[in-house]
């Protein structure tokens, strides 16, 4: 029993050590701008633009549901224009970033882990090294930077889509006028709402791509190893999104 606990503790410490080494190698590769510069633009297109359809799809239905849910919850004592408030605040501050992040953990994180894992087990990463490329500047930095920059961009579009479908649902399916919805939307709106959502999104992008790269580059074995790395990436990314969500709430929403 004690031995098992000890073994797990050692494994955990080793795991943190590996992450530390990986991070240090990534930072050391940063001066190699010649390699990661152009590849980052390619990855921004892949990670960002290609992720838009799924992000917009999720946001569209979230907006509709939120509007109907708000109307259902608010009773006669609550003014109906607050439907607009709830849709706006919730989409911008919480559901836009978090649901998009969770979807992209599956789409982007799994894709990175599978791609790099396959490259690792088929010796493509070794081949890069023999051609004098640093795999961190060629493979890791472009993906992590692209995630950090493009996740907030994708989330901005998701926010706009969520608010738009919420407005359409409210004004067509509910007894709410356009003026009432817009009034509610504007009433408690602060630029901070958007900033808060974007800060969270950037952190999700950074963490999802980093986990995908770390587990992908650490893949051992064949197809089974690639599958395991992919699954772990999705699970760890989803967990980290929820942890970061709570972290940013504690740091940025705890008003004095």
Partner 1 sequence: MIAFSELHKAFEANRVLEGFTLEVRDGETMVIIGYSGTGKSVALKHVVGLLEPDAGHVEVDGQIVSELRRPQLTALRATIGYVFQFAALFDSLTVFENVALGLRRLQDLDEDEIAQRVREALRLVDLPRAEPHMPSELSGGMRKRVGLARAIALRPKYILYDEPTTGLDPVTSAVIDQLMVRTREALGVTSIVITHDMRSAYTVGDRIAMLYQGRVQQVGTVEEIKATEDPVVRQFIEGRPDGRAVVRASIGDAGRAAALEGGET
Site of interaction with partner 1 (CB under 8 A): 35, 118-119, 122-124, 126-127, 129-134
The span from the CA of 230 to the CA of 222, in Å, is 13
Q: Which is nearer to partner 1, 49 or 190 (CB)?
A: 49
Beta carbon of residue 20, minimum distance to partner 1 (angstroms, whole number): 19
d(CA 26, CA 53): 30
Say if residues 204 and 151 touch (Cβ distance below 8 Å): yes
Nearer to partner 1, 122 or 178 (CB): 122
* Minimum CB distance to partner 1 smaller for 134 or for 209: 134
- Give whole-number Cα distances, 237 to 21, 58, 92, 170, 247, in Å: 19, 18, 21, 34, 15
Task: Compare residues 6 and 221 and give the one whose CB is closer to partner 1.
Answer: 221
**For helices 96-104 and 223-252, angle between their N-to-C axes, nearest 10 degrees:** 170
SS3 47: helix
Closer Cβ to partner 1, 125 or 198, answer by number: 125
Name which of 123 and 239 has its Cβ closer to partner 1: 123
For residue 99, the number of C-alpha atoms closer than 13 Å in the C-beta half-sphere is 22
Helix axes 191-217, 223-252, angle to 10 degrees: 150
Distances (CA, A) of 233 to 38, 151, 214, 243: 26, 17, 9, 15
Minimal distance, residue 55 CB to partner 1, in Å: 24
Q: In a 3-state reduction of DSSP, which class is residue 86?
A: helix
What minimum distance in Å lies between the beta carbon of 206 and partner 1?
A: 24
HSE-CB of 85 using CA atoms within 13 angstroms? 11
Least distance from partner 1 to the Cβ atom of residue 130, Å? 4
CB 88, min distance to partner 1, A: 41
CB of 91 to partner 1, least distance (A): 36
């Amino acid at each position: 029993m004690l031995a098992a606990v000890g073994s797990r503790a050692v494994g955990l410490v080793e795991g943190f050590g590996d992450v530390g080494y990986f991070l240090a190698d990534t930072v050391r590769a940063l001066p190699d701008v010649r390699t990661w510069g152009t590849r980052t633009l390619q990855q921004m297109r892949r990670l960002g633009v290609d992720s838009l359809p799924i992000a917009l799809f999720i946001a569209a239905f979230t907006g509709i549901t939120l509007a109907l849910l708000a109307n259902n919850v608010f009773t006669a004592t609550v003014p109906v224009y607050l439907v607009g408030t709830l849709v706006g605040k919730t989409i911008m501050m919480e559901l836009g970033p978090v649901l998009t992040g969770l979807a992209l953990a599956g789409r982007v994180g799994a894709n990175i882990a599978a791609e790099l894992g396959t490259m690792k087990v088929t010796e493509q990463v070794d081949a890069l090294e023999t051609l004098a490329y640093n795999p961190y500047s060629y493979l890791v930095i472009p993906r992590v930077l692209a995630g950090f920059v493009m996740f907030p961009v994708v989330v901005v579009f998701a926010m706009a889509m969520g608010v738009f479908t919420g407005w359409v649902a409210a004004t067509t399916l509910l007894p709410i006028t356009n003026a009432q919805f817009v009034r509610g939307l504007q009433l408690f709106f602060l630029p901070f709402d958007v900033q808060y959502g974007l800060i969270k999104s950037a952190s999700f992008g950074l963490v999802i791509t980093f986990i995908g790269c770390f587990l992908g580059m650490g893949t051992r074995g064949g197809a089974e190893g690639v599958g395991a790395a992919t699954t772990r990436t999705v699970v760890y990314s989803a967990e980290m999104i929820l942890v970061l969500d709570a972290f940013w709430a504690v740091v940025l929403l705890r008003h004095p």
